[in-house]
Structure 1
């Protein structure tokens, strides 16, 4: 098998949640460029339509989109069934959708707790549960959860976010053991500071500067920096990688102290 063929995803079906912008859209385009048929999901149809057009531009692959609130269990289930029928199965699942609503422990509300837990963790399990049977039938599958550097190091007010992202890592390890005999790998990617809408809206200029300075490469990451890990874990090139986490943080947490 040639090196090029290891990354050839021609005919594969890929589902990317939170695919209308940011990491999700960039990763979806990368899978499409490798020959995969792709479906992206998000909550807003106008953003999805624009993203799907951008992903499909210049390519001869099938690009679909589905409006879906990943925090709504009924919508997640219906979307999964629809996409499975459309593609005849899902080969690669990228659980990218997520949210971050900072609250310190004593001010954490049950409403916010339930919302973040559902979207960042429970929905990932539920969607994986839907697509695994089709992967087992084919004897091939890739599940990729987008965790976060915040699963390994945190800050005040980020207990809920860090907790859900750490939970994905533990879940991936267990599911890797369960699904490995069927040719299915399960892994996590932990992005560091990536210049997407979510952190840019939460942080002030001084915080953004401090994050960049703390990385080894002295910059914020771009969404394109997540393509390499995603394609590795989502293709035959990563067939012997499972139950693990790729930390793509620009060297943020290799520093002990200043």
Structure 2
């Protein structure tokens, strides 16, 4: 299937590795020029060079702390300066640290909101006006299955990611008449460093091995496996496509059947 996004431009957050990098690779494979950002300059430079060589597209990179709203906004403006427009924005910045209510004070909550909600809003604020002007745009937020079914031990993530979905749903209504869609990709257990960190945190809290904890997790997943980052990339690329123009305000689970919610 030709997704119809060849020569479109995309800005992807948290793209030095993991899900962000997988999305950047998937969009580049469709012929999109990409701008990637994260904190690690070395990993970003290597990733951009690899994307450009493999797919023959422009691949720019910028080291930035997406946990800071001002830096996130400036990164959006940087991508606009180099590309003239950002047609596809993928908001992704990992997640807050795992833990329970008693583990966090007000400063932890403030940092989680800044990192997860405010950074997405700041990047969007920078690039959305051009999308509206050209009557075409895609905003895709990488969130978590926890917005549909809260996960144990992820107090900050469960709360703050739900705020992202509320904001995205409201924004989708406002920008739909201008050919701009806003959607959320909600991964379950995907083979990334984030998952490894969660398993280790649960291991330390329970005294079980990370391997035993993972085995227990797999029992609750009908597919009986964790997902691959490339599968997240494929879904994001479809949501960015012309064929997905009538999908907006959606939160799409990609979790092997883990979530039992009806919607």
- Kept after mapping to 2: 8 A contact 1:25/1:55: no
How many residues are paired up? 252
Is residue 44 of structure 1 aligned with residue 50 of structure 2? no
- Give the structure 2 partner of residue 70 of structure 1: 66
Structure 1 SS opposite 2:54:
coil
1:159-184 CA deviation, whole Å, 9 max, x = no partner? 21111111122111101100001100
- Pick one of 240, 245, 250 that aligns with 2:256: 250
* Deviates most, 101-110 or 219-228: 101-110
Structure 2 CA distance for aligned equivalents of residues 77 and 168 of structure 1: 17
TM-score (norm 2): 0.91
Higher mean alpha-carbon deviation, 201-210 vs 175-184, is at 201-210
| Residue equivalent to 1:230 | 236
Aligned to 2:136: 140
Partner of 1:104: 100
Question: Cα deviation per residue 1:128-169 (whole Å; 9 max; x = unaligned)?
Answer: 111110101111000000110111222443221111111122
Looking at structure 2, the residues matched to 255 and 179 of structure 1 have their Cα atoms a distance apart, in angstroms, of 28
Tell me the SS of whatever aligns to 1:57: helix
- Cα pair 1:40 1:66 within 8 Å, conserved: yes
How is 1:72-91 mapped onto 2 (pairs within 5 angstroms)? 72-91=68-87
Q: CA deviation at 1:255?
A: 8.6
2:123 aligns with one of 123, 127, 132:
127
Which residues of 2 match residues 136-175 of structure 1 at below 5 A? Answer: 136-175=132-171
Give 2:219's aligned residue: 213
Checking the alignment, whether the CA contact within 8 Å between 2:69 and 2:118 is kept in structure 1 is no
Alignment gaps of 5+ in structure 1? none
3-state SS in 2 of match to 1:39: strand
- The list of structure 1 runs, each at least 4 consecutive aligned residues, that deviate by more than 4 angstroms after superposition, is none
Give the TM-score taking structure 1 as reference length. 0.93
CA contact (8 A) 1:49 1:65 kept: yes
How far the C-alpha of 1:75 sits from its partner, in A, is 1.5
Question: What do you get for the CA RMSD once the two structures are aligned?
Answer: 1.5
Contact 1:8–1:35, Cα closer than 8 Å, also in 2:
no
